[in-house]
Amino acid sequence: MKRDIILAGVGGQGIISIAAIIGTAALEQGLFLKQSEVHGMSQRGGNVQSNLRISDKEIASDLIPCGKADLIISVEPLEALRYLPFLSSDGWVITSTKPYINIPEYPEMDKVMDEIRKLPHYIALDADEIAKEIGTLKAANIVILGAASPFLDMQYEKLEDAIRFIFRKKGEDVIHKNLQALKAGKDFTERQMNS
Amino acid sequence: MQRLLLLGDEAIAQGALDAGLSGIYAYPGTPSTEITEFVQHSKQAKQDNIHSTWSANEKTAMESALGMSYAGKRSMVCMKHVGLNVAADPFVNSAITGANGGLIIVAADDPSMHSSQNEQDSRFFGKFAMVPVLEPLNQQEAYDMVHYGFDFSERYKIPIMLRITTRLAHSRAGVKRRDSRKKNDLKLPEDLRQFVLLPAIARKRYRNLLKAQDLFEQESETSSFNQYIDGPDKSLGIIVCGIAYNYLLENYPDRHVPHPVLKIGQYPLPKKMIERLYEECKEILVLEDGYPIVEESLKGLLGKGLKIKGRLDGTVPRDGELNPNIVAVSLGMKDTYGLPVPSLMVGRPPSLCSGCPHIDSFKALNEVLKVLPKGRVFSDIGCYTLGALKPYEAINSCVDMGASITMAKGAADAGLVPSVAVIGDSTFTHSGMTGLLDAVNDKSPITIFILDNGTTAMTGGQDSAAFGKIEDICKGMGVEEGHIHVLRPLKKFHEENVKIINEELTYPGVSVIIPRRECIVTIDKRVREKFKKTEAAE
């Protein structure tokens, strides 16, 4: 079993939290893990990315080779496209459709969505909208994680346990909302796959 | 013991704590910052009273670490690759004084310059100083090498360099801890002139260092960090240094490399192992995450003898970090590639945060300077370096820590008047003060902006050594009180600030302008901490 995952977004959008949840769940399942990240740019609106590698065998490189990523999980649509050279031929792209426009030359959104719709395997959802319905915009990243969960080859319950562990100091309400966000994302993907 | 998920940086810090560290010294610098931060936040370090406050710069950090070693205790000093340039004087001479308590210098290099001005390779410095260098291949080895390094340092009374790169420093993996070791007791050097480098003494000590090189080489031959892994296909022999080994293994499923591989984790190089590879193979490929140091020493100036492949002959790109794809191509394998990036893609570079005080400072400076020909703003290293980008385009130089003031002075000496320097508060106490003194003593007609946001921001908001001291330092250096102005970099004071800057630009002497407003990220952190504490109390 192996999953090579590129996590992408803009600083402050919570991709490190996604990595922490998947990582905690992976360790609970006794899997090997390597997670590399870009530091420092997060507060300054730059693009951020993390290489998350999970395997039942020892992992060599901290970096995922180009063309070998099983998943690109992105909380921002333009950022999902930035790492396409890493995607394997049967890899999936899971992305939010809500743009983060902090640069003057951000391309037109319909052109960005055209590029996403060209992809062989993708799930695109407005994670912000779904998070708002649950009652917390902050959980948009967890909605994306939920949408990606069917592709992780990991036990869903272990992801829930990881959320309970990571948010343990934030109180029952926060944990509950995040678990709902995770499920909402998963439900979205299941509806897409069944249609 | 259970496995912890640790960054390469954190593995080094935990390794030091478990190996009986008494003090860690550093100045923030990516990708080394997290080593010291880990110690600062560690309960274990607090209980054991481990010294871990930030130093003013890497030189003072190196010297303090050397002082702790003198006193018999284990110390560690951490820096990024260019930080080693600053610490070079004490570093090179510490090899000649030698150590007493174990001393490890951690150099965290940044090939591909993810957040640096260059990609210099610290192994060169290790060779230059003639100290052993340890280069881990992964987080576990980084942890283990700290224990080994401290023991080695005390056995041979020599400082040790531990060299990592960004991709290990900022990557997490499982690490198994060892049982902790007690800290050393205070114990002065047996020879109380060991550290006195008067020429008569230094010559003797230098000859000892030269003699010790053979011992270090023998250690490299038998070290478990250097491994000769034989393989049947001798058409190629491969030397891999540090993390390059991971990229090699990545390209062979089941980790079976058909060629003989020499994995290097400890320098000086194990000559006998290299000789064996050289004798048994038709060609050699050298993979190193940095300069072609090993490659060049094998190839020699004339490149005669066996074909040595690497960066120098184009098998591997001359610059930039290694990755699994580059290594695949160097082995003659097919490169793998996903889909192309769509043509609509645009860069999303970091920029100054919305509400940053530097924005107001640059706006005011730009307005004052718009009547003069451009090109006279010399700047420095920090968040404010982002002022070079649109829409401000406010600065014209960024070279090394403190260069803003001294380059402005040099340009003014050449006749470029007025010349302006823009420096941060932390950078100022790091290396700006001596430049200010030069300018004051020469009565240089420069205007120096010390952007005081009360922190070392770009690296994550560490404490600034300058806090609360800037005006007094300037006065103490001899800047006239009437030409030191503290401004409030806010929209509502823009006109007032522009007026003051205008006046000082015409003054034919040193002016210091201090726009002071707290970094908004630091404020945010402070408020959150306060909120957390209030929440916890309720």
Question: Residue range B475-493: average pLDDT?
Answer: 97
Per-residue pLDDT at A9: 93
How many Cα atoms within 13 Å fall on the side-chain side of residue B488?
5
Per-residue pLDDT at A41: 58
Closest residue, chain A, to B169 (C-alpha): A36
Nearest to B337 among A41, A67, A119 (CB): A67
Give dist(CA A29, CA A52) in Å, integer.
16
Per-residue pLDDT at B533: 77
Q: Transcribe A47-93 into DSSP letters.
A: EEEEEEEEESS----SSPPTT-EEEEEESSHHHHHHTGGGEEEEEEE
Q: How is the beta sheet containing B397-398 ordered, strand by strand?
A: B397-398, B377-379, B419-424, B446-451, B511-515, B484-487
Question: Residue range B446-455: average pLDDT?
Answer: 97
End-to-end CA distance of chain A: 28
What is the number of residues in chain B? 538
Question: Residue range B66-83: average pLDDT?
Answer: 98
End-to-end CA distance of chain B: 36
Is the pLDDT at A108 greater than 60? The verdict is yes
A59 touching B, CB under 8 A?
A: yes
Is the pLDDT at B335 greater than 80? The verdict is yes
Question: Residue range A8-29: average pLDDT?
Answer: 90
pLDDT band for B529, please (50, 70, 90 cuts): confident
Between CA B248 and CA B254, with CA B252 as vertex, the angle to 5 degrees is: 120
Task: Name the residue among B360, B507, B384 with its Cα closest to residue B446.
Answer: B507
Give dist(CA B305, CA B314) in Å, integer.
18
Nearest to B338 among A61, A62, A86 (CB): A86
Portion 232-251 of B in contact with A at CB < 8 A: 243, 245-250
Report helix, strand or coil for B528: helix
Residues of chain B with CATH 3.40.50.970: 3-189+196-222, 357-522
Is the pLDDT at B534 greater than 80? The verdict is no
Residue A180, C-beta contacts closer than 8 angstroms, at least 6 positions apart: A134, A139
Per-residue pLDDT at B170: 95
pLDDT band for B26, please (50, 70, 90 cuts): very high
Residue numbers of the domain that contains A42: 2-194
Per-residue pLDDT at B532: 76
Per-residue pLDDT at A47: 86
B500 touching A, CB under 8 A?
A: no
Task: Name the residue among B447, B464, B427 with its Cα closest to residue B500.
Answer: B447
- Mean pLDDT estimate for chain B: 96
Is the pLDDT at B317 greater than 90? The verdict is yes
Q: C-alpha dihedral over B527, B530, B536, B538, to 10 degrees?
A: -100
Residues of B in contact with A46 (CB under 8 A): 348-351
Give exposure, B394-428, as e/b (b: 16+ Cβ within 10 Å). Answer: bbbbbebbbbbbbbbbbbbeeebebbbbbbbbbbb
pLDDT band for B221, please (50, 70, 90 cuts): very high
Residue A89's CATH number: 3.40.920.10
Is the pLDDT at A147 greater than 80? The verdict is yes
Per-residue pLDDT at B165: 97
Residue percentage of chain A with pLDDT more than 70: 97
Is the pLDDT at B256 greater than 60? The verdict is yes
Per-residue pLDDT at B524: 86
User: pLDDT tens across B203-219, in order?
Assistant: 999 999 999 999 999 99
Tell me how close the Cα of A46 comes to any Cα of chain B, in angstroms.
Answer: 4
CATH fold of B357-522 reads Rossmann fold (3.40.50)
Portion 104-143 of A in contact with B at CB < 8 A: 105-107, 111-112, 115, 119
Nearest to B167 among A58, A63, A89 (CB): A63
**B434-438 contacts: CB < 8 A, separation 24 or more?**
B434/B402, B435/B402, B435/B403, B435/B404, B435/B405, B435/B406, B435/B409, B436/B405, B436/B473, B436/B474, B436/B477, B436/B479, B436/B510, B436/B512, B437/B477, B437/B478, B438/B406, B438/B409
pLDDT band for A42, please (50, 70, 90 cuts): low
Give dist(CA B499, CA A143) in Å, integer.
52
Give dist(CA B355, CA B349) in Å, integer.
17
Give dist(CA B55, CA B23) in Å, integer.
12
Tell me how close the Cα of B305 comes to any Cα of chain A, in angstroms.
Answer: 32
Residue B80's alpha-carbon distances to B30, B119, B379, in angstroms, are 6, 10, 20
pLDDT band for B158, please (50, 70, 90 cuts): very high
Domain count across chain A: 1
Give dist(CA B87, CA B71) in Å, integer.
20
Residue from B339, B358, B386, B389 whose CB has the most chain A CBs within 10 Å, to mutate: B339
Between CA B329 and CA B333, with CA B330 as vertex, the angle to 5 degrees is: 40
Report helix, strand or coil for B390: coil
Question: Residue range B39-43: average pLDDT?
Answer: 97
Give dist(CA B136, CA B291) in Å, integer.
17
Nearest to B249 among A40, A60, A107 (CB): A60
Q: Would the CB atoms of A85 and B335 count as touching at under 8 Å?
A: no
Per-residue pLDDT at B125: 98
Residue B273, C-beta contacts closer than 8 angstroms, at least 6 positions apart: B221, B226, B228, B262
Report helix, strand or coil for B114: coil
pLDDT band for B538, please (50, 70, 90 cuts): low
Q: Transcribe B9-54 into DSSP letters.
A: HHHHHHHHHHTT--EEEE---TTTHHHHHHHHH-HHHHHTT-B-PP
Closest residue, chain B, to A109 (C-alpha): B344
A101 touching B, CB under 8 A?
A: no
Task: Name the residue among A78, A89, A151, A6 with its Cα closest to residue B339.
Answer: A89
Task: Name the residue among A144, A150, A152, A129 with its Cα closest to residue A185.
Answer: A144
Portion 357-386 of B in contact with A at CB < 8 A: 383, 386
Portion 78-117 of B in contact with A at CB < 8 A: 114-115
8 Å CB contact between A151 and A73: no
Residue percentage of chain B with pLDDT more than 70: 99
CATH fold of B227-330 reads Rossmann fold (3.40.50)
Q: What's the CATH number for B3-189+196-222?
A: 3.40.50.970
Helix (H), strand (E), coil (C) string for B458-509? CCCCECCCCCCCHHHHHHHHCCCHHHEEEECCCHHHHHHHHHHHHHHHHCCC
Which pair of tokens denotes residue B49? 């009273």
Give dist(CA B365, CA B500) in Å, integer.
11
Residue from B80, B327, B344 whose CB has the most chain A CBs within 10 Å, to mutate: B344
B342 touching A, CB under 8 A?
A: yes
Residues of B in contact with A69 (CB under 8 A): 338
Residues of chain B with CATH 3.40.50.920: 227-330
What is the number of residues in chain A? 195
B324 touching A, CB under 8 A?
A: yes
User: pLDDT tens across B225-244, in order?
Assistant: 999 999 999 999 999 999 99
Give dist(CA B449, CA B430) in Å, integer.
15
